[in-house]
Amino acid sequence: MLSFNALAARPEFTVSSVDCRDDHRGWSAEQPRADMRLVLVRGGRFRRRVRGVSTDLDRTIGYLGLPGEEEQFSHPAGGDACTSISVRSDLWRSLAGDTPRFAGSSLYVDGRLDLAHRRLLAAARDDGTEELVGLVAQAVQQVVTTAAPDGGGDEALVAKARGVIGDDHPAASGLIPLAGLLGVSPYRLSRAFTRTLGVSLTRYRNGVRVSRALDRLEEGEPSLAALAADLGFADQAHLCRTVRDHLGHTPTALRRLLGPDRVVRDRRHGGDPEPKLLV
């Protein structure tokens, strides 16, 4: 028996937790799927057979599923738990090229890929796009022999991206639309930010949004839910986590520190009108 739990759903990809409770040694046939997907095992073991070639899969070996493949699965050791990442065609082409050649479908899950997988699961509740792009790009490097070129000009590319983010262009809402606007792959844009600024694009973009949140809180913004929606956060909880991560304070605490009535309040209590931040 299979159970699916959606962890993240975006126009360009979906991330699901898949739990299988089957226990059989024979091969079960699956209906061909139309999506490109990366499957990584979190627990248990099973076997997969495609085009007559079978592979034993566990936490050290994952696989890339191609559209239209006729897959068969066997579970001689019991059930398993996996993460299945379905990648839409546009995002896949930006990472692997228009006509990729494959060295195989299975891939070795080394320490870097394992860590990238764990980071994706931790970030899936918020955005997770940059973590996903990095994870899929690592997989592409193993199984695709004609990956899309990385290119140069990182500083100029990052400058353009910063301008788009600073102008609050709709494409600045995430890594993938921003890369599309700039005409580069999401992986290249993500790497360019890390190389040039020493921070990820996601953290840079969140830093800009946190600064805007501070402006609104100083002006007396009464609704954190409205603030989260206006600034493009998934919800109020996402806003609070991000602000606390960047500043060490929740929006509610910052409202008390920065709100327009703070000088009157501090003077009423005989304190210094300038708040002292506790670290």
82: nearest Cα among 16, 131, 10, 136 = 16
DSSP letter for 30, please: -
Q: Quick one: pLDDT at residue 266?
A: 43
User: Within this chain, do residues 170 and 211 fall inside the same structural domain, yes or no?
Assistant: yes
Q: How many domains does the chain have?
A: 2
Q: Residues 110-142, buried b or exposed e (16+ Cβ, 10 A)?
A: eeebeebbebbbebbebbbbbbbbbbbbbbbeb
User: Within this chain, do residues 248 and 182 fall inside the same structural domain, yes or no?
Assistant: yes
pLDDT digit string (tens) for 224-268?
999 999 999 989 999 999 999 999 999 999 888 876 565 444 444
User: Within this chain, do residues 165 and 102 fall inside the same structural domain, yes or no?
Assistant: no
Which single residue is written with the structure tokens 């609704």?
A: 223
Of 143, 162, 178, the last residue of a domain is 143
Q: Quick one: pLDDT at residue 38?
A: 95
Provide the residue type at 97 as one letter. G
Measured CA distances, 29 to 53, 68, 72, 92, 182 (Å): 14, 13, 5, 26, 43
Please indicate, yes or no, if residue 19 is contained in any of the structural domains. Answer: yes
Domain that holds residue 204: 152-262
CATH code, domain with 195: 1.10.10.60
209: nearest Cα among 253, 264, 247 = 247
How many CB atoms within 10 Å of residue 244? 15
User: Within this chain, do residues 251 and 172 fall inside the same structural domain, yes or no?
Assistant: yes
Please indicate, yes or no, if residue 276 is contained in any of the structural domains. Answer: no
207 burial class (0-12, 13-18, 19+ CB within 10 angstroms)? middle
User: Within this chain, do residues 15 and 121 fall inside the same structural domain, yes or no?
Assistant: yes
User: Within this chain, do residues 105 and 42 fall inside the same structural domain, yes or no?
Assistant: yes
DSSP letter for 243, please: H
Of 123, 143, 163, the last residue of a domain is 143
Residue 102 has pLDDT above 90, yes or no: no
User: Within this chain, do residues 187 and 227 fall inside the same structural domain, yes or no?
Assistant: yes
DSSP 39-52: EEEEEE-EEEEETT
Please indicate, yes or no, if residue 274 is contained in any of the structural domains. Answer: no
Please indicate, yes or no, if residue 177 is contained in any of the structural domains. Answer: yes
pLDDT digit string (tens) for 29-82?
777 888 899 999 999 989 999 988 889 999 989 999 999 999 999 988 888 999
Element of type H or E holding 57: strand 53-57
145: nearest Cα among 105, 85, 91, 109 = 105
Please indicate, yes or no, if residue 271 is contained in any of the structural domains. Answer: no
13: nearest Cα among 71, 92, 78, 76 = 92
Confidence label for 150 from pLDDT (cuts 50, 70 and 90) = low
CATH code, domain with 62: 2.60.120.280
Q: How many whole angstroms separate alpha carbon 234 and alpha carbon 255?
A: 20
**What average pLDDT does the chain have?**
85
Residue 169 CA to its chain's centroid (Å): 20
pLDDT digit string (tens) for 184-205?
999 999 999 998 888 899 999 9
User: Within this chain, do residues 130 and 40 fall inside the same structural domain, yes or no?
Assistant: yes
Q: How many whole angstroms separate alpha carbon 193 and alpha carbon 182?
A: 14
Provide the residue type at 19 as one letter. D
User: Within this chain, do residues 101 and 178 fall inside the same structural domain, yes or no?
Assistant: no
User: Within this chain, do residues 8 and 113 fall inside the same structural domain, yes or no?
Assistant: yes
Q: How many whole angstroms separate alpha carbon 116 and alpha carbon 131?
A: 7
Contact criterion met (CB below 8 Å) for 86 and 36: yes
User: Within this chain, do residues 178 and 121 fall inside the same structural domain, yes or no?
Assistant: no
User: Within this chain, do residues 166 and 213 fall inside the same structural domain, yes or no?
Assistant: yes
Please indicate, yes or no, if residue 162 is contained in any of the structural domains. Answer: yes
